[in-house]
Amino acid sequence: MTKKLFTTSVTVNGGREGTAVSEDGKFNVVIAMPGTQRAKEIPEASNPEQLFAAGYAACFDSALQSVSRIEKTPIESQVTGHVSLLMGENHDYSLQVKLEVKASGTDKDKLENLVHKAHEMCPYSKAVRGNIEVELEVIAE
pLDDT in tens, the chain (141 residues): 899 999 999 999 999 999 999 999 999 999 999 999 999 999 999 999 999 999 999 999 999 999 999 999 999 999 999 999 999 999 999 999 999 999 999 999 999 999 999 999 999 999 999 999 999 999 999
DSSP codes joined into one string, 87-136: E-TTS-EEEEEEEEEEEESS-HHHHHHHHHHHHHH-HHHHHHTTTSEEEE
Q: What is the pLDDT of residue 1?
A: 87
Kindly report the pTM of this predicted structure: 0.93
Q: What angle, 0 to 180 degrees and rounded to 10, lies between the N-to-C axes of helices 48-70 and 108-121?
A: 120
Backbone angles phi, psi at 92, to 5 degrees: -95, 135
Q: Which residues of 8-24 are buried (b: 16+ CB within 10 A; e: fewer)?
A: eeeeeeeebbbebbeee
Q: What is the pLDDT of residue 68?
A: 97
Q: What is the pLDDT of residue 24?
A: 97
What proportion of the chain, given as a percentage, has pLDDT over 70?
A: 100
Q: What is the pLDDT of residue 37?
A: 96
Q: What is the pLDDT of residue 51?
A: 96
Q: Who's near 8: CB < 8 A, 6+ residues apart?
A: 22, 23
